[in-house]
Structure 1
Amino acid sequence: MGAVEGPAGQVDAGARPRRWRLVGPGIVVAATGVGAGDLVATLVAGGRFGYALLWAAVVGCVVKIVLAEAVGRFHLATGSTLFAGWRSLGAWTTAYFGVYVLVWGFVYGASAMTASALPLAALFGGDLKPWAVGCGVAGLLLVGLGRYALFEKVVTVCVGVMFVVVVGLAVLLLVDRVPGAAGGFAQGLPEGSTVYTLGLIGGVGGTITMAAYGYWINAKGWRDSTWMRVMRWDNRVAYATTGVFVLAMVVVGAELVHAVGADITSGDAGLLDLDELLRERYGGVLSSAFLVGFFATSFSSLLGVWNGVSLMVADFWANLRAPAGQEASARVADGTAERSAPFRLFLLWLTFPPIALLFLDEPFGLIVAYGVLGSFFLPFLAVTLLLLLNSSRTPREHRSGPVSNAALAASGLLFLVLFVDQLTDLAG
């Protein structure tokens, strides 16, 4: 029997749903976390070290599965939201999130619009800034006027495009090179690869939008612990897909960039360097297809933030206005949050104020600043999940066990190291 869907695309828990029809929120959170900068990181790692760091991408997927599962488990086990949980830990979490989300949103807005505009400007020509503004406004309209069901479908289409393009390219490059790929899982750390290894582990689909996963499963209609197994299936399928995608980028780096000894630029613009290599080796058709995949990757990240972080801000505001000791709900599941003033105001904040940064003509500075701010959030997420999932806030049967706790602690430490490294780069 297939899943029964309501008017908002929500699934009836009383039906026996087919698993593949339920995959959705996990694809959204994974696709949102894998942006153009993450593709460049894997591309550079493959270009410099060949297949020696393939294993790091696999470990990165496992880390993100643990984090996303913990976020989803808290929402389903408690019937609450992550921000309500943060608020129960003390006022420091509210202050942290309130300041962080404003600063991060301002910087990310410019970074996301730039990353989405780069392939469009390369494909169709013209100045980058109008393309960037157009991408931001398109995201604003799609998220602001649509609902979760439409948003999920658009992101899923973007994922399909980027998966076919990147994995297809990797297969093309690997036609006669399969034996060389297997060695990537057996080698250790090449000299000088420590930071790249940590970046690969930390960059496989991980940003503030990991915290939005719980809001997206609520928007899907999953509201209590009866959906726990479905959530875990959704999460694993999503990050397995992302893992294949990231591995494919390492293959592209090893087989194309490493083979010709090319130098790929840091940041989103590095994908334009790859476009040039593809054009020289395979012609314009394949390079144009790659640029379409590049756009799908960047624009899906933009849409995910425009929707997911705005939902978190709506919940933040609802809880901030609630009396002390009481919990408020942003009413994500019935679509009310997407029609609320805080949701729409934050959409405007992500779209229009960051346009000023586009005219500074400092894309590299934007990329570095975004990297620092992004890595600053994930240690906070890992630590607060440890506190919430090992307390009376979570029913005993759904609290974290030793394996989950160890994985959360290790990921928190990893992201802290990455933050320090990004901060050092900024200072330099």
Structure 2
Amino acid sequence: MAAGKLKLTDALVKAIEPAGSQSEFVVWDTEVIGFGLRVRARSKTFIVTYRPAGGGRGVNAKRFKIGSPQSIPNVREAHRLALATLGRVAAGGDPAAERAEERRLAQSTIRDLLDRYDVHLRRRGHVKRTDTLSLLRRRLKPLLRRDIASVKAWEYAEIIERLDLATGGTGGATFRTRCSTFLNWATFDARVLETNPLAGYRRKRDTRQERVARVEFGRALSDVELSAIWRTADPETAFGRLVRFLVLTGCRRSEGSRLVWSMVDLPKGRIDLPATFTKQARGHTVYVSPMLNDLLTHQAENSVVSDFVFPSARTGGPMSGWSKAMDPSDKRTAGGTRPGKPGLVKASGVSFTLHDLRRTFRTGLSRLGVENEIAELALGHARADLEARYNRDDCETALRSAFLAWDRHVEENIRDATSAPSVFN
């Protein structure tokens, strides 16, 4: 059958065969003007054609899909839907544009866009993907069902200010950085925003008191403090061994928690972190000192079966829940009929963060006389100009000596602190 005008009936709709070799044709109904049956190679669809109200004949006609014969029970119901659609047009509506907007909204909620952003970061091998998405989903939770285009800049600013108040300024800055990067992606990659609402946001200038507090927030620990933390970190738990690992290596928390056994070569005395694993996106080698060798050997013998060196005791996957493990506010022991075990901060008597162990490692190497260039390489701050000053063998020898010197310092510090009275015992 070719295109034309006929009175559409249930029998006729059923009798019309798909278009076959033809691209498509339309059988227009003689009773409802603008209503017809579009027939394609493998499908049949009821449609309505119209021009948006006020446009006149100078505006191109639009076709609006009502449904298929499978979804609409009969032609009579299709007539009713067609007339309702044309009524919306007469009242000034544009059904096709409205449906397109509905589809856009369905794909433009913050929840859906975060899922797409997750796929984007995974494809790019983003090292901090899990942490980034977790932070964004938690902080943007009240807005997840909203169309991202409807969220105003002041709403993001309110979240940042609340985090600044709760964390002394650090939480807001971290969220702003990661959220702004997400919004840039939504603007230029997903193309659902005209501009990034945070593009012009600037953090308020710190007062002198805030600058002092910020400097004091991150620090290198004293030998007494480091010894207290080491002795408090329970060597019979994966978390305790992870803390001791961070003390000995200066690795980042994420590098230790996601370390897998395939990266560890104890016979050769080295741990090779791949480029996709580290923050600086370059491979980094940690050389295994005697205490670290004992720690890893003990971990291999006592850990649950897992690819991860320091797996979560609950899931067997990467360790998480740092706030609860550290518990600087001591919420675990407050209230309730069965107070929880104190976090590492209270149990050790030292106010610190896990990143302070990395600062302590770097400061300690300098105090032990390790050259700045080698100390930077030991920390993973590799740069071409640093590596160029050493050939491969000399660099490895110097790095092994640096890790060994720090190992001996930690061991002596622990032994001296153990033999002397301590307020932390």
Q: TM-score, normalised by structure 2?
A: 0.23
Larger RCO of the pair (alpha carbons < 8 Å, separation 6+)? 1
Higher fraction of helix:
1
Q: TM-score, normalised by structure 1?
A: 0.23
Higher fraction of strand:
2
